[in-house]
Chains A and B, each alone.
Chain A
Amino acid sequence: ETGVTQTPRHLVMGMTNKKSLKCEQHLGHNAMYWYKQSAKKPLELMFVYSLEERVENNSVPSRFSPECPNSSHLFLHLHTLQPEDSALYLCASSQTFEGPSYEQYFGPGTRLTVT
């Protein structure tokens, strides 16, 4: 138990569906992250929020839309996804964003399958 929870753990959706992934951290951290993890590939940073402000958006397609209503919650809204978007989506948090030594704590991930 890392103090970061994600729901749902598994999701199967069609290309025309709209769904949302939820992340919650109970650590009092100020930074939250969304990553995409595909088999045998490095973790891809998608979005970073620091104190509820988006600070990074790494050229992610607009069919992924993040939302951070407060420092404890992070959402990833999904719309019109493609089969190549099937992956494990990981949420993480850290004490701050601009701190070199602050490790990130990860949630268990949502296994997403797009059919």
Chain B
Amino acid sequence: GQNIDQPTEMTATEGAIVQINCTYQTSGFNGLFWYQQHAGEAPTFLSYNVLDGLEEKGRFSSFLSRSKGYSYLLLKELQMKDSASYLCAVSDSNYQLIWGAGTKLIIKP
């Protein structure tokens, strides 16, 4: 079956760096997405990786290793507004998104 694994919850300190991991097993691979979802709000797109390596976008970076079925989202200089759930999703061979259950990130002052 198809499966996406990510930690349920993580805690970090304001100003620090946090890495949220995602491992996947899917039927085919057409890219991996990261979304951010604040409580009570819609998920919003953060990043897309289809080739191995690191994609940097401001304070957020996303890494992909297709051979390992692994990705991470790196958040630097954490701010209180970064408290949210972070969703990992893989586009399979049919371009259907397979979603992880999300990682709830709690930022403490």
Mark A residues whose CB is within 8 Å of B: 2, 4, 40-43, 45, 48, 56, 90, 97-101, 103-109
Are A106 and B44 in contact, CB atoms less than 8 angstroms apart?
yes
With A90-B42, A104-B45, A108-B42 already in contact, 20 other A-B pairs whose C-beta atoms are closer than 8 Å: A42-B4, A42-B101, A43-B43, A43-B87, A43-B99, A45-B96, A45-B97, A90-B43, A98-B95, A100-B30, A100-B31, A100-B50, A100-B91, A100-B95, A101-B31, A101-B50, A103-B33, A106-B42, A106-B44, A107-B42
Residues of A within 8 A of B100 (CB): 42
A43 to B99, CA, bound (A): 6
Complex: A104 Cα to B87 Cα, angstroms:
13
Q: Within the complex, what minimum Cβ distance (angstroms) separates A111 from chain B? A: 8
What is B's interface to A at a CB cutoff of 8 Å?
Answer: 4, 8, 30-31, 33, 41-45, 48, 50, 87, 89, 91, 95-102
Specify the main secondary structure of chain A where it touches its partner. loop
Docked-complex contact B42 and A40, CB < 8 angstroms: no
In the bound complex, CA of A106 to CA of B97 (Å): 14
In the complex, chain B residues whose CB is within 8 Å of the CB of A101 = 31, 48, 50
**29 A-B interface contacts by CB (under 8 A):** A2-B44, A4-B42, A40-B8, A42-B98, A42-B99, A42-B101, A43-B89, A45-B97, A48-B96, A90-B42, A90-B43, A98-B95, A99-B95, A100-B30, A100-B31, A100-B50, A101-B31, A101-B48, A101-B50, A103-B33, A103-B48, A104-B45, A104-B97, A105-B45, A106-B42, A106-B43, A107-B42, A108-B41, A109-B42
